[in-house]
Chain A
């Protein structure tokens, strides 16, 4: 990507030729490195069937090449590193979010069908009649493991990954050798740590594999057999035949599945599949599910139970946050505007909340409001004689959040309003005074309207910011206290974005990236509406477009 940091020679003066030649060389060299790197990545991604990313990287690489090779696109060369990065880390995620919203991507349906089958085919199991060995682990300098095996008859073998088992002889002293065929005996201290690695390794080659299961080395076999024509996976351990059903994205035991479905016709397919244990469900894979996620989001009573409540709180929270922070900020700006003594001193003190990392601020407040020991709640308790449950009560939790957000947010409006107030021409005040307006009238009919013109767009920006103010909600109480009786984890102080986050990365129920992405898109649509409104309301888009 450094390719674009160099510029082609302008050609004209011969004195600049040598540095120009270096520039060209640097550019081609840089481009070559970027291309080689990208090609390797594309190749690896495509080989594993991660097409979406492979194709996107390919397109970006081609565009970067065209820009840097064509003389008439010279101005774009300067921009190409920024464009490439933006494409990969902003635009691709947006496109991918849309794609995921139309899939059943989630913990239960993680891989595309092809790579799922490949992974299952690598799985091993230990048949009941398998031979067991005692084992000791060895490792070579490359970090590859090998096993020293002893069977029930006391015969010794040595086995590495990819090579068949070979008979081995114990040294005369009867103790295992410190090193063998380039492998060193694993010291005791590392054995436990290595166990996890060892359990995932199949030693040996071909059909005769050895795996570590519950402390023994045992001969293992392939667990699954795949019949591509019939699209069936046979579990060789249990003998169950699973058939791939591309309409639901699962390998299922057909008869069991159909019986269960017939018994519960109203079932919502996705959660039904993930939760139902009345039939034998095989592994799930990723498929396109059309509008299913959106449908679930809007129609399923199980999901939209907390949804309306969360939406209302999101809007209320954003609105109240803007109103409170703006009011206090404006008040301070007005107080600081007149020739108050110590103006700069007060401004420096009052700016402090703005200068502290939000996470730290929220956490400190969290401590101060702590139900039992927090200084603020203790103080309130001593006055009111009753404990204020800032975290366990839905209403008080919301009050706490708004209080903290006021503390976090007023300095911004204080600064912005100070600037805007200073920009109001003083002769307008003179004129108003001449007209006999008192202070309140001046404020009402002159200061406020003038101020709102300047600050209006920022009020709306603040609204959209708070609409997605994830840090505050998450750091305060992780959306809690929880709403009881909802099928998806949701809390009384959850806003849409934190709710989507909980669905995507939530604990317990497993991740549901498809649904979370669908909600993301819905939130995005709302943000777009607000933004369009903002542009329309302020005309700032036209103004911005003109100023480019």
Chain B
């Protein structure tokens, strides 16, 4: 029965082939128009802030899309000059880079160890421990902010380098907070490496440490690098914890906390300088995301299929 219906359905299509193609083209046109409009929505803020950063007049009021009244190419860089000479911009960037580098490297090293153990050893309590780690992660990091703040306040009295208003304290909070989810992520990667590889090595008398360090680690290194880069970017862009935990120390401000400082009463007046900072601050992330587009899409869709 279905077959006959299908055949009936197919027939008119074949006769109106020209019409069909025309309507196909029409819909493709509509598609492209909608996509173009959405792309304008997506890109306009980016174009606008880039334009603002090159506009020599610093106020929001006098900005035009194409910077007007330019006499020399140097004038285009007025805001960048002001940013780099009158604001501690390089200091912020340095702080951010230090924090993010240490955080991402430490996180990857420590979580890779745990992931290896969860992936390769079988021990009692392994399952419960993994589920516990996942469950703890349900508690949003942000919600414990008050407690983390008070804890660093106390720790700082004894270990000044880990206290409030220090990069050390912030790094520890980042590293500690990122453990759970990354262990899960990496265990998945380790699971994808065939067990035969390390089992034969173990039979040959290698220790687990040797197997891990000389065999498995080099195999998963590309993925670890991607995870590390994403962790770097995430830390680089983190703002809430950094703002609360570094509140009292101008010298320890990270880039995002520093940029946040522009948004105040003088926002409209300092718009150009902020724009220059925003452009410089967004470039690393933007480049990394666009380069790693496929890996990120892969990771996300994998998540969606797995739940």
A interface residues (Cβ-Cβ under 8 A, vs B): 4-7, 9-10, 12-13, 15-16, 19-20, 23, 41, 44-45, 48, 50, 53, 73-79, 81-83, 85-86, 88-94, 96-97, 100, 105, 328, 331-332, 335-336, 338, 340-342, 346, 348-361, 363-368, 370, 372-375, 407, 411-412, 415-416, 418-420, 422-423, 433-436, 454-455, 457-458, 464, 468, 470-471, 474-475, 497, 500-501, 504-505, 513, 516-517, 520, 523-524, 527-528, 531, 538, 540, 543-545, 548
Contacts A357-B281, A423-B305, A513-B146 given; indicate if A335 touches B117 (C-beta within 8 A).
Answer: no
Q: Contact at B237–A358, with CB atoms within 8 Å?
A: yes
Q: Could you give 8 example pairs across A and B, Cβ below 8 Å?
A: A20-B207, A73-B123, A94-B144, A351-B289, A358-B239, A436-B6, A504-B149, A516-B146
Is the CB–CB distance between A82 and B285 below 8 Å?
A: no
Check B114 for interface membership: any CB of A closer than 8 A. Answer: yes
A-B contact count (CB 8 A): 315
Interface residue? B226 (CB, 8 A): no
Contact between A7 and B209, CB atoms less than 8 A apart: yes
Q: Is B154 a contact of A415 with CB atoms below 8 Å?
A: no
CB of A419 within 8 A of CB of B301, answer: yes
B205 at interface, CB cutoff 8 A: yes
Shortest Cβ gap from A384 to chain B (Å): 19
- Give me the 7 closest cross-chain CB pairs, A-B, nearest first: A419-B301, A89-B176, A355-B289, A75-B121, A78-B117, A93-B144, A7-B209
A7–B209 Cα gap in the complex (Å)? 6
Cβ–Cβ < 8 Å partners of B177 in chain A: 89-90
Contact of A363 with B140 at beta-carbon distance under 8 Å, contacts A7-B207, A97-B146, A454-B305 already known: no
Q: Are A354 and B289 within 8 A (Cβ)?
A: yes
On whether the beta carbons of B45 and A365 are closer than 8 Å, the reply is yes
List the interface of chain B (C-beta within 8 A of A). Answer: 2, 5-6, 9, 28, 31-32, 34-35, 38-39, 41-43, 45-46, 48-49, 52, 59-61, 63, 110-111, 113-114, 116-118, 121-123, 126-127, 129-131, 133-134, 136-151, 154-155, 157-159, 172-173, 175-177, 179-180, 183, 202, 205-210, 236-237, 239-240, 244, 256, 259-260, 262-263, 267-268, 271, 274-275, 278, 281-282, 285-286, 288-290, 293, 296-297, 300-307
**Are A340 and B35 in touch, CB under 8 angstroms?**
yes
Note all chain A residues with C-beta closer than 8 A to B300: 412, 415-416, 419
In the complex, which residues of chain A have a beta carbon less than 8 angstroms from the beta carbon of B240?
470-471, 474
Beyond the given A9-B207, A100-B150, A352-B46, could you list 9 further A-B residue pairs with CB under 8 A, ordered by the A residue number? A23-B209, A79-B118, A82-B111, A89-B148, A97-B143, A350-B39, A375-B63, A436-B6, A540-B307
Q: Are A359 and B256 in contact (CB under 8 A)?
A: yes
B147 to A346, Cβ gap below 8 A? no
Q: Is the CB–CB distance between A86 and B123 below 8 Å?
A: no
Chain A residues with CB under 8 Å of B126's CB are: 75, 548
Interface centre among A44, A411, A419, A436 (most CB of B within 10 A): A419
Distance between A117 CB and nearest chain B CB, rounded to angstroms: 18
Q: How far is the CA of A365 from the CA of B274 in the complex (A)?
A: 12
